[in-house]
């Protein structure tokens, strides 16, 4: 497996294609922007505080929303879990300005629903039976707009509470995001971690835990802007990619694990 030549593209690109659409000889990891989306959706889920569902609601069908005509619809991933929560995510690109797109989804959601602002993004949220819906809206530079529509299974979230990571992380590390996706026979799990340790300490300790899974460095780490590091791993059990970035005395690690399912 060849290492990426430049770090910035690996760190800043957002991957919206499913693993099944990617070349068989190289499974590309998810982008960090998509992980930031995961964090945002996780916050929305936490603030929603869904009440326990009744037994009759557990088999409820996943809700769907009507999208604007002549918009581009892309399903993100396949079977997705964010911090243990089963989710379905759709990206909608429309020629409408963001205010018009927000008006469309207000009408589709109906009342009651909640609205909030997260930076430059506007978020609409609604609970339906056993599910929680978020619509994250942003203006695009070309005058159009984008909506990320996520539906989360709150019962599945409660069932996953407290489950082990299956990964040894450095002491004093905070787990910012845990995202899983299975699509086209490819299983991906991506962690975003933060701690005060140096880049080298994180590289050594996370390399050691990957070695216990049978994954070993394929070449020396690639150094990118601001001293960030990119390391690829491979082995009979699958592949991994580790990106380490240092800022304001804190290291952020993005670790992606990939494996083919039987």
Region 58-82: mean pLDDT is 81
Residue 46's contacts (CB-CB under 8 Å, 6 or more residues apart) are none
Name the nearest CA neighbour of 251 among 176, 186, 185.
Answer: 176
- Confidence at 26, pLDDT banded by 50, 70, 90: very low
Q: Is the pLDDT of residue 256 over 90?
A: yes
Say which residue the tokens 């082995």 belong to: 235
Three-state DSSP at 44 gives: helix
Percent of all residues in the chain with a pLDDT value above 90, rounded to a whole number: 45
Measured distance CA(13)–CA(225) in Å, rounded: 15
Give the list of residues 6+ apart from residue 142 with CB closer than 8 angstroms, or none.
none
Instruction: Decide: helix, strand or coil at residue 80.
Output: strand
pLDDT of residue 124: 94
- The confidence score (pLDDT) of residue 11 equals 29
Q: So what's the pLDDT on residue 120?
A: 87
* 258 pLDDT above the threshold of 70: yes
What is the enclosing helix (H) or strand (E) of 62? none
Residue 262 binned pLDDT confidence (cut-offs 50, 70, 90): low
**Among all chains, which residue has been given the structure tokens 């670790």?**
255
**86 backbone dihedrals φ, ψ, rounded to 5°:** -65, 135
What pLDDT, in 10s, does the model give residues 182-236? 777 788 889 999 999 999 999 999 999 999 999 999 999 998 877 889 999 999 8
Residue whose C-alpha is closest to residue 9's, from 224, 249, 236, 257: 224
pLDDT digits (tens, 9 = 90+) for 80-110: 888 878 888 899 999 999 999 999 999 999 9
Predicted local distance difference test score (pLDDT) of residue 237? 83
Report the half-sphere exposure of 165 (CA within 13 A, side-chain side). Answer: 18
The rounded mean pLDDT for the chain is: 77
In this predicted structure, the answer to whether residue 6 has a pLDDT above a threshold of 80 is: no
Is residue 61 classed as helix, strand or coil in its secondary structure? coil
Whether the CB-CB separation of 86 and 156 falls below 8 Å is answered with yes
Q: Is the preceding peptide bond at 112 cis, omega within 30 degrees of 0?
A: yes
């Amino acid at each position: 497996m060849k290492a990426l030549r430049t770090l910035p593209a690996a760190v800043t690109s957002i991957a919206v294609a499913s693993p099944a659409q990617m070349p068989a000889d190289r499974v590309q990891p998810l982008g960090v922007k998509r992980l930031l989306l995961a964090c945002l959706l996780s916050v929305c889920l936490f603030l929603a505080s869904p009440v326990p569902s009744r037994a009759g609601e557990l088999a409820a069908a996943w809700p769907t929303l009507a999208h604007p005509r002549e918009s581009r619809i892309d399903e993100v991933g396949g079977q997705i879990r964010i911090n243990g929560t089963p989710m379905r995510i759709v990206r909608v690109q429309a020629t409408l300005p963001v205010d018009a797109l927000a008006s469309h989804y207000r009408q589709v959601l109906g009342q009651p629903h909640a609205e909030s602002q997260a930076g430059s993004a506007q978020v609409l949220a609604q609970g339906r039976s056993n599910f929680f819906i978020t619509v994250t809206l942003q203006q695009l530079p070309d005058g159009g707009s984008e909506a990320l529509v996520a539906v989360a299974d709150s019962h599945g979230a409660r069932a996953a509470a407290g489950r082990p990571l299956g990964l040894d992380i450095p002491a004093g590390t905070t787990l910012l995001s845990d995202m899983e996706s299975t699509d086209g026979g490819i299983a991906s799990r991506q962690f975003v971690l933060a701690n005060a340790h140096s880049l080298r300490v994180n590289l050594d300790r996370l390399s050691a835990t990957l070695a216990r899974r049978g994954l070993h460095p394929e070449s020396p780490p690639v150094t990118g802007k601001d001293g960030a590091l990119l390391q690829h791993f491979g082995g009979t059990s699958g592949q991994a990619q580790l990106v380490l970035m240092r800022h304001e005395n804190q290291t952020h690690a993005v670790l992606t694990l990939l494996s083919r399912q039987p």
